[in-house]
Structure formats: structure tokens, C-alpha cells
Structure 1
Amino acid sequence: MRSSSHLVAALLLAFPTTVLAQTDAQTASLARTLKQGVAPAHRVQAARVLGDSEDPEALGPLCAGLADEAPEVRAAAAKALEVLGEPGALECLEARTDEQEPSVQRALASAVSATKALRARPARVYVMLGEVKDSTGTLSPELVKLTEARLRRKLFQRGAELAPAKQSEAEAKALLAKRKLPGYRLLPEIRPGSAGGLKLSVVCMRYPGKQLLGTVEVQGADAEPGDLLAALVPQAIEETAASYKWK
């Protein structure tokens, strides 16, 4: 719902368990298959699904897959890293200077080129992301930190440049004026959901000021907290981008 001065965009989602399964638990299972699967075809498929997962936790297993004994698996891991779109993949991709198989060399070159382009892409918005607040009192610090990492990754994918934590107001104003970027402050909070699950709320303000623009809320149930949050993060950022018309 929207009003002229205060925007509140609520997206209340009841994710089915089959959708939420494409998160932490499956990433761990796929990582094991990629590392230990007997058949190369199974390891290739695991790499492909990890690449499509949009999970930052897939980066490590896919980088390790670049050293697989089977060239088709190494090529699949390189292609999956390109699809994953994780800026941190560049280091492990460029480290494979000893690769001799032409098909793998081509996959590596394509992934390196795409990842460099991703890193060099001009920002569309400038975002100060606040610390994730856990209002449930039940989540582990590790899960809260992982949720923040996922928020940062999704923001980067959405074209945001992230402001440093201790940036002064004067520094922010100067940068925004020079770069001609809109500035936003996002304050994420994890709260109990109305259906017994979790709700991810993101308060959006102007940055470096504190003019309140509105709130985006996404909600899910019927899954483990880690699975819920992995599914809610991209929904929250996409809804935020749509609500405030990030180009």
C-alpha cells in the first residue's frame, strides 16, 4: 500500500517448502556432491545447480570444483561461477593459470571477463546498510551475519554501491554530488512472523539524511530459519528496488 508521504510496501509471502529447500540445506548437499560424487555427470549437475542458486555460500564449493580431476566438471564449475555472479570469484578463477584443457580454458576466460565486468559496472544507487537487528532473540549470531552478507550481495547485484560504516555526512554528500547517485539508508530487522515463521523488515530512509521513505516487509513460514531468510533476502531487496524505482 502507498501514500504520498509515507510508503509502506508489504509483501507477505507464504513460501512453500519446495521453494525454501533451494537454500542452505540444498547448498550443503550439492557441495558434497560436487566434491565427493562418484560420477562426473553428477558433479557437473551439482555445479550447475549451485551456479543457479544465488547463494553466496556456493562460491567456496564452486572454486574448489575448478580443481576437479574431470575437465567437464572444471568447465561446469567455471560456467557456474559466471552464472552465480559473485565478485569474489575473480581470485579463484584467475588462479587457474595451469589449466591445459581448451574447453576449460574457454570457460575460465568467459567467467573472468564476466566477473571483471560485474566489478567494473557503474553503481546505480548508493546504500548505507545498517546492521541486521534480530528481534526474535532466537537466531544465532552466525545466521544474522550470514543474512547481512546475503543482503550486501543482493544489493551489489542490484547495482548498489555500499557506503562504509563510519562515513561522515559531509563525505557522503560530497560523494553523492560528485557521482550524481541517489542515496538510501536501509535498516533491516528480523521479526517473528504472523504465521509462526519469520518476517524480514527493511526500513528505507534518505541518505545521508534520515527522511523516512517507507518500509518493505516479506514474510515466510514452514521452514527452518536459515532457509526462510535465504529466501526472504532477495525478495526484500527486489521489492525495495521496485518500490523506490531503482533503475
Structure 2
Amino acid sequence: MWCAVALIGALIGAPATRAELPKKLLDGLASSSAKVRIVAVSNVARSKDPQARTLIEPLLADEDPAVRAAAIEGLGRVADPAALAALKRVAADQDETVQAVLKRVVPALEALVIAIYVGEAKDLSGGAFPGLADKLRKDIKSALVAKLGPGFVLIDDPTKKSYGATPINIRSITRSKDGRTSFLEVKCELTLVEMPGNMLRAALSSSAAVGVEGEISKRLEPELANDAVTACAPEVASDFVAYVKEHSRR
């Protein structure tokens, strides 16, 4: 018991700086004393360490309901919406205190999730290659998911208050040739909208090429167009991510 009290005193008496986390707080999180684990969770939550969420989440499965409740409180203090997945996995916890804390913390974290509407894509180039607009939209959504992380959610309902991209256009497709190399350049245009109305337009282009001549070059054009869209989408998504993160002040 003395060791537990001594460790609690050490945890309370020292600020939880990043350099001290490995020794004092990690030991506290793994302590055999529930009281020490609770204090350690509180200190980790207040530390602003980027690993705080992942350090606290395992204690959601602690055998002591007071520790589980403290872990939920700690995740609420960390204020990282990525914790929602772990919290939803313990939604059926039978302890009344745990349930009371969950009912308070989960809605608060859900309110921090930033919604993004990915608007409809249009091909304004004349539709020479069917399906390019849908492919561009799909590729941009995939790139956004990879770049934004769990603090953001993509939605398909533009009526909700959200950041939006409306529209995503394929502006033009240009053919050119340099010797044996045939080029296809796809120009994309994205309108970024921060509700209720601040707008920023971004125009990007990407080229795909194949070094063949004659009819085979013509037959390969649909593949080149798809390659160009695939290359263009991550760049469009990068501009979108930078804009949203700047304006959401995350």
C-alpha cells in the first residue's frame, strides 16, 4: 500500500511533460493499484502528449469500473474524436457510473467530428471517356479518407452543415504527341466551400503518356485518361485537406 501511495504522490506532484511520460505515467497506467491507475490516466489526459489517446484506451477494459470511468473521462479531456471507435465498443458496459460518463463524453466527442461533403463530379470535356467523373470523385474520396484521419467524416448529404466540394469538374482533356510518345492531359477543377459560403477554387492538371504510334495509341487513350485522373485526385485532395484543416483550426 505504501508503494501505491508514494507513486500517487509522485504523479500528482510532477507536471506530466512529454519527457516524463515513459517513466512515471506508463508505470502508473500499469500499476496493480486502481487508485494509481486512475491518477495516471488523469495525468496522461492532461499531458497533451500526442500518444495520450492510445495510452488511455486500453484502460477502457480495466477490471475496475472506477478506472474504466476515469479512462472515459480522460479520453473526453484529450478531445480526440478518434477515441469514438473505442468508446462505442464499450457502450454495453453494465456499470452505472461508466454509463453516466459515456453519455456525457461520447456526444461531446461527436460534436468535434468535422463533416465534409464531397460534391458531385461533372465531366465538362465533352464526355469522350465515359465514367471519368465518377472515377475522379471516388478517387478523391479515397484520398481524403487517407489524408484526413478519424477526426473527419465524409458525407453525401449536402444539406448538412459541412465543408464541401461542389463541384468537382473535369474541365478539359487535351491530346498531344511528341515523336513516339502520345500524351493525354486531364485538367481538374475543384470548388472548396466552407459553409455558409466562403469559397476557394483550385485547378489542377495531370498528364499520362504512352510511347507508341498509330491505332494502338488511340485504343489506349481511355486507359491514359484513367491514369491521369488517378494521378490528379490526390493533388486535389491535398488542397482540400490543407484548406479544411486551416479553417477548422484543428
TM over 0.5, shorter chain: no
> More strand by proportion, 1 or 2?
2
Q: Under a length normalisation based on structure 1, what TM-score does the superposition of the two structures give?
A: 0.44
Which has the greater radius of gyration? Answer: 2
Q: Under a length normalisation based on structure 2, what TM-score does the superposition of the two structures give?
A: 0.43
